[in-house]
Amino acid sequence: MSEIISQSTLRALAAEWIAGGKSVAGPARVKPDLVLYRRLRSVDDLLLEGFQRPANSIKEFLFPKAEKLYGYKIRGNSIELIENDSPQHAQVIIAARACDAAALPILDHVFNWDFHDEFYNRRRAATTVVTLACSAHDENCFCTSVGLDPGSERGSDAILFALGNGEYELRCATEKGRALFDGKTEKSDRTGKAIAGPEKKFDAQAVRTFVTAHFEDPFWQEHALTCIGCGTCAFSCPACHCFDIVDAGPAAGNARVKTWDSCQFSTFTAHASGHNPRPVQPARQRQRILHKFAIYPEKFGEILCTGCGNCTRNCPVGLGVLSVVTEINHG
Amino acid sequence: MDNVYKPDLMEVTRVRQETPDVKAVSVRFLDSERASNFSFRVGQFGIFSAFGYGESTFNICSSSNWKDHIEFCFRKVGRVTEAFWKIEEKDVVGFRGPYGNGYPMEAWKGRDLIFLGGGIAMPPIRCAVWYALENRADYGEITVVYGARTVADLVFLDELDEWSKAERVRIIRCVDPGGETPDWKGEIGFVPHVFERAQVAAKNPVVLVIGPPIMIKNTLPILDKMGVKPASVYTSIENRMKCGIGKCGRCNVGPIYICKEGPVLTMEQLQGLPADY
Amino acid sequence: MSAAPQFEPKIVAYVCNWCTYLGADLAGTTRLEYPPNVRIIRLPCTGRIDFNLIIKALEVGADGVLVSGCHPGDCHYTAGNYHARRRWILFRELLDTLGIDLRRIEFTWISAAEGRKWQQVVTEFTEQTRKLGPYKELYATGTYPDVPAPETASPEAKSFAAESELREVCHKLLAEGTVKVVIGYGARGPFVVTRPEDADRLVWNNRCYSNLTTYLKRKEIKALGKAAVIVKPCDEKSLVELEKEAQFERKDAHVIGMACEGVGQPKCARCTARTPRFADMTLGVAAGPEPQSSPSPNRFAALMAMPPAERMAFWTEEFNRCVKCFACRQVCPMCYCERCIVDKNRPIAIDPAPSTKGNFAWQIARAFHLAGRCVGCGECSRACPAGIDLALLNISMHIAAQKNFGYEAGADPKAAPVIGSYTLHDTEGFIR
């Protein structure tokens, strides 16, 4: 016995959630050739088909690009710290991809490693992720090379499988998912399934072995020369989580703000003394691959990559994890 | 919400200028409950903040036996340290910590201790020396070789004098050739060479060496000749930090997050790490 | 019954030390009353006034900004105010494009003797600003009509005829040691070749989007030695401007110009040159006759047809998507500062966070730093992962430079650059 929901019911539900004060995010068309996950003002903006995947990831709903950690008031010698105690609103992310949802349990590790980042945890607890299983993949996808596949349920609270003619099979993976859809589906004997996924494009373990053993290697120089050192790959990646803490003083409202940062920026590791352990772009590219394929697996047992392909699609100069890692496998 | 990024508020109780661009600051918790619950291990660090300017990472350079305040020592090099330069007694700063792994003072019990430091590297050595002197019976011979480019760059000189009065303690101060003043009574030479000349006789010592990479590089062969294994040589690594709690992804040297599995590493560990610092 | 308290506008006045500040002082010493709403900030010269200061004043709550200095010809530093005037002409156009209320910014010349003029200007400007009310519309969201999006084509991948000739030429350049590195295009994007046998991996087709001149400034590339760079005619214009700014010397690089058939980007619809003009060698045959002029895209007209408040709402919506990845900056050949103003932290000049304010500050800085220098290669827009219509900002500055100074970036190597030069006859109409 399976559960079926029609697209119109789904949209009506989403409209209810929005009207009821839940924050609902999903893919929306921003420009003729650009689809992004956005907070939806109206369910009419929700886009369910006609594109591979949004150019950003769902991490921004759990780990915002700018998060105020606390404010402070300076009065002479005294400082008053002002925290935001407002309650966390419930959030639904609808039509996420498997490669977005799977990044959440991966990120859970680093945000709870001894110290618990409650900014992330609170949002995570308040968010229900409804994944839409992929019905296509493009040449930039490589989820199957990092241990995932288009039908993966990791990190999802509920998954929709397209059945055609505007209907989906709904599988609830968690209590949160069940709570959201309770009583809203119809019973059926039809089931859907995700597509098989792209062929494996590289061996992740071989990549880990290579990068660990080849820290100093002309490979990095050769393959990173065209990297221009922006933050596009890191910022559109579902798993990248490096951040900065900035205090821009009174002109910026007297607050400490956690903001996204990228290991590709030239000043990422620059010391105040002027010393920079990673002074050239090849060293920074190396760090990215090492972090994802060797360091994070060593520390937390997971590859810090879900094979979504955003980095490669968005990179202004055609680099990205896939292009570098396939070179490793070929070399 | 338990906010791990929120600092404790500290009141400045003392500011001492050590060199033209180095100051040592003592701070105490404004919250007395926090003060009584607080403890740390020497070698750990804190993230201190100047409100309106930002946060900066400094070793907690006071002994963990001193309960009423903690100290940090900084050189004026950037935005935040320039703001710290202006602070006075009664000003309020922020503190997050203690972070990092600290020195394994328990494991060092019974051993001779050799401390080798260059320039601004004295503060992270200072806390360990005070701790050892305050637990004198637990440790063997203590040798400190401390040098800087010039006499004016030496910090905590008055404390070095005090240490030399303790039992079984040998203090050797040096400056780089050309950095001496006419009335300089200490050694002249780079720390590794001065250390070699000192012919320190130590049985199975623990060595803590902190300083610029070139200093460490030149010290290692001398220790090797003395028969000191890399597993007994410790250092404290500096890397740019922001969160201090292993999340922002900035301070790693290979797979080691300096803020969590460091900053104190043995040479054996360091030699197994890539040159990423 | 007492009247409701009147709205007291906050006016920030940036004045030069030698003329207007003394003029204001004269107003004081001669007992001329003027409203206390103005906060005077004294600078050595109007030429020192960074456009960012004007924005900052509005950001921190000013309702009006006054900018004033010596009369042209009387600058204490000879030409500071001429440079300032240049900048103001362009900056006003940028502010207008962004939908910032121009009635709240006033430029004026007030000399040390013109105490009375100071009194008049401040009194009238204060009253005018009082009538406008508090400036609440800054960075406000709202509705706005659609601006047509740039047309892109995704053509079938098509190799251009000169591809094999290009490979041979590059092979030879490397094999003979004429150059140590070729900056060209590969299968996925830019491709840097150091070995002659790799020249076969170079491509030349209708997906060769990148402006490769941006690599000339990167230290990892410079370290390799003399470079050959492959340029489309549009990219070549960057070299013209870089040369003017002493960032590029012809003798230090080998420029391989490619006659272009178009790469399906929005800029291709406004193409003004299909054959490179100054390359060391030119390969390929241009498609069709050289177009004579480039019509303004109707997108900019659509934007400017909106009332300022709607324009502002448009940009607030666009900039709210900005994540500060700085892809726009990194792809741009004209952004070659080793340390960008956004990375400056003593003091912080541009709010580094990707907040509304921080994003506006960055976008304004970028657009204005490129005024008169951007050659319209369109890479910033293509690179932006958030689909921000950056081209519109650059187009606005391009049009402003053409309209006011007859200048087109990248066209004439001998034309004096817009910012950095001035004439005695630059437009004065908006300056009181």
Q: What is the CATH number of the domain that holds B36?
A: 2.40.30.10
How far does C347 lie from chain B, in Å, by closest CA?
7
pLDDT band at C290 (very low <50, low <70, confident <90, very high): low
Closest partner residue to C385 (CB to CB) among A66, A225, A232 is A232
The count of CB pairs under 8 A between chains B and C is 8
Residue A67 bridge partners (DSSP)? A258
Q: Do C189 and A56 touch (CB under 8 A)?
A: no
Q: How far apart are CA C209 and CA C223, in angstroms?
A: 25
Please report residues of C whose CB lies closer than 8 A to that of B78. 345-346
User: Nearest residue on chain C to B83, judged by CA atoms?
Assistant: C346
Please report residues of C whose CB lies closer than 8 A to that of A327. none
Residue numbers of the domain that contains A269: 2-330
Domain identity same for B121 and B231: yes
pLDDT band at C356 (very low <50, low <70, confident <90, very high): very high
pLDDT band at A328 (very low <50, low <70, confident <90, very high): confident
The DSSP-derived string for A79-127 is: EEEE---PPPPPEEEEEE-HHHHTHHHHHHHHHTSSS--HHHHHHHHHE
Residue C293 has pLDDT above 80, yes or no: no
Q: Is C300 left (phi over 0), alpha (psi -120 to 50) or beta?
A: alpha
The count of domains in chain B is 2
Please report residues of B whose CB lies closer than 8 A to that of A235. none
Is residue B124 in a domain?
Answer: yes
Q: Subunits that touch chain B (at least 3 Cβ pairs < 8 angstroms)?
A: A, C
Q: How far apart are CA C217 and CA C245, in angstroms?
A: 13
Question: Would you call B82 an interface residue with chain C, using a CB distance cutoff of 8 Å?
Answer: yes
Query: For the CA atoms of A307, B251, A59, A228, what is the dihedral angle to 10 degrees?
Result: -60
Closest partner residue to B55 (CB to CB) among A77, A117, A245 is A245
Domain identity same for B184 and B208: yes
Give per-residue pLDDT as tens, C104-151.
999 999 999 999 999 999 999 999 999 999 999 999 999 999 888 877
Strands (E), chain B: 8-19, 22-29, 45-50, 54-59, 70-75, 92-99, 113-118, 142-148, 169-175, 187-188, 206-210, 233-236, 252-253, 256-257, 264-266
Residue numbers of the domain that contains B73: 8-99
Please report residues of C whose CB lies closer than 8 A to that of A265. 326
Q: Is B90 left (phi over 0), alpha (psi -120 to 50) or beta?
A: left
Percent of chain A with pLDDT over 90: 87
Residue A211 near residue A286, CB atoms below 8 Å: yes
Domain identity same for B138 and B50: no
User: Nearest residue on chain C to B78, judged by CA atoms?
Assistant: C346
How far does C219 lie from chain B, in Å, by closest CA?
20
Question: Would you call C154 an interface residue with chain B, using a CB distance cutoff of 8 Å?
Answer: no
What is the pLDDT at residue C36? 96
User: Nearest residue on chain C to B77, judged by CA atoms?
Assistant: C346
Which of A36, A38, A225, A240 has the most C C-beta neighbours within 10 Å, making it the best mutation to test the interface with C?
A225
Q: Do C354 and A317 touch (CB under 8 A)?
A: no
Q: How far apart are CA A57 and CA A243, in angstroms?
A: 16
B77-91, B100-114, B203-217, C112-126, range with the lowest pLDDT:
B203-217
How far does A89 lie from chain C, in Å, by closest CA?
21
Of B217, B259, B216, the C-alpha closest to B240 is: B259
Please report residues of C whose CB lies closer than 8 A to that of A234. 325
Percent of chain C with pLDDT over 90: 84
Q: Do A235 and C385 touch (CB under 8 A)?
A: yes
At B33, is the secondary structure helix, strand, or coil? helix
Mean pLDDT of B12-34: 96
Of A135, A152, A175, A160, the C-alpha closest to A14 is: A160
pLDDT band at C288 (very low <50, low <70, confident <90, very high): low
Q: What residue spans define the domains of chain C? A: 11-132, 163-283, 298-405
Partner B, chain C 346-365, Cβ-Cβ below 8 Å: 346-348
Specify the higher pLDDT residue, A154 or C265: A154
Helices assigned H by DSSP within chain B: 32-37, 79-85, 122-134, 157-164, 191-198, 213-225, 267-271
Give per-residue pLDDT as tens, A127-145.
999 999 999 999 999 999 9
Domain identity same for B117 and B216: yes
Q: How far apart are CA B150 and CA B264, in angstroms?
A: 27
Please report residues of A whose CB lies closer than 8 A to that of B238. 271
Q: Subunits that touch chain A (at least 3 Cβ pairs < 8 angstroms)?
A: B, C
pLDDT band at C270 (very low <50, low <70, confident <90, very high): confident
**C34 is written with which tokens?**
């003027």
Query: For the CA atoms of C387, C392, C393, C399, what is the dihedral angle to 10 degrees?
Result: 160
Q: Rounded mean pLDDT of chain C?
A: 93
What is the pLDDT at residue C268? 84
Provide, for chain A, the percentages of residues in helix, strand and coil under a 3-state DSSP scheme, each rounded to the nearest 5: 35, 25, 45
DSSP symbol at C430: T
Residue C67 bridge partners (DSSP)? C14, C107
User: Nearest residue on chain A to C323, judged by CA atoms?
Assistant: A65
Mean pLDDT of B77-82: 95
Mean pLDDT of A103-111: 98
The count of domains in chain A is 1
Residue B97 has pLDDT above 90, yes or no: yes
User: Nearest residue on chain B to A120, judged by CA atoms?
Assistant: B3
Specify the higher pLDDT residue, C73 or C272: C73
Q: How far apart are CA B169 and CA B244, in angstroms?
A: 34
Residue C292 has pLDDT above 70, yes or no: no
Please report residues of C whose CB lies closer than 8 A to that of A249. 347-348
User: Nearest residue on chain B to A243, judged by CA atoms?
Assistant: B248
What is the pLDDT at residue C427? 86
Domain identity same for B92 and B179: no
Is residue B93 in a domain?
Answer: yes
Q: Do C325 and A235 touch (CB under 8 A)?
A: yes
Domain identity same for B31 and B71: yes
Q: How far apart are CA A66 and CA B27, in angstroms?
A: 31
What is the pLDDT at residue C3? 66
The count of CB pairs under 8 A between chains A and C is 121
Fold that domain C11-132 belongs to in CATH:
Rossmann fold (3.40.50)
pLDDT band at C272 (very low <50, low <70, confident <90, very high): confident
Query: Residue A51 CB: number of other CB atoms within 10 A?
Result: 14
Domain identity same for B163 and B230: yes
Q: What is the pTM of this model?
A: 0.94
Question: Would you call C59 an interface residue with chain A, using a CB distance cutoff of 8 Å?
Answer: yes
User: Nearest residue on chain B to C346, judged by CA atoms?
Assistant: B79
Domain identity same for B23 and B89: yes
What is the pLDDT at residue C294? 53
Percent of chain B with pLDDT over 90: 94
pLDDT band at B142 (very low <50, low <70, confident <90, very high): very high
Question: Would you call C425 an interface residue with chain A, using a CB distance cutoff of 8 Å?
Answer: no
Helices assigned H by DSSP within B44-176: 79-85, 122-134, 157-164
User: Nearest residue on chain C to A140, judged by CA atoms?
Assistant: C188
pLDDT band at A2 (very low <50, low <70, confident <90, very high): very high
Please report residues of B whose CB lies closer than 8 A to that of C347. 79
Partner A, chain B 86-125, Cβ-Cβ below 8 Å: 90-92, 94
Residue B174 has pLDDT above 80, yes or no: yes
- Residue A132: in which H helix or E strand, if any? strand A127-132
pLDDT band at A98 (very low <50, low <70, confident <90, very high): very high
What is the pLDDT at residue C295? 55
Question: Would you call B260 an interface residue with chain A, using a CB distance cutoff of 8 Å?
Answer: yes
The DSSP-derived string for C381-420 is: HHH-TT---HHHHHHHHHHHHHHHH---TTT-TTSPPSBT
Q: Rounded mean pLDDT of chain A?
A: 94
Q: Do A118 and B90 touch (CB under 8 A)?
A: no
Closest partner residue to B3 (CB to CB) among A70, A272, A273 is A70
pLDDT band at C86 (very low <50, low <70, confident <90, very high): very high
User: Nearest residue on chain A to C359, judged by CA atoms?
Assistant: A66
Is residue B246 in a domain?
Answer: no
Q: How many CA atoms lie within 13 A of A80 on its CB side?
A: 4
Q: Subunits that touch chain C (at least 3 Cβ pairs < 8 angstroms)?
A: A, B
Question: Would you call C197 an interface residue with chain A, using a CB distance cutoff of 8 Å?
Answer: no
Closest partner residue to A66 (CB to CB) among C329, C354, C385 is C354
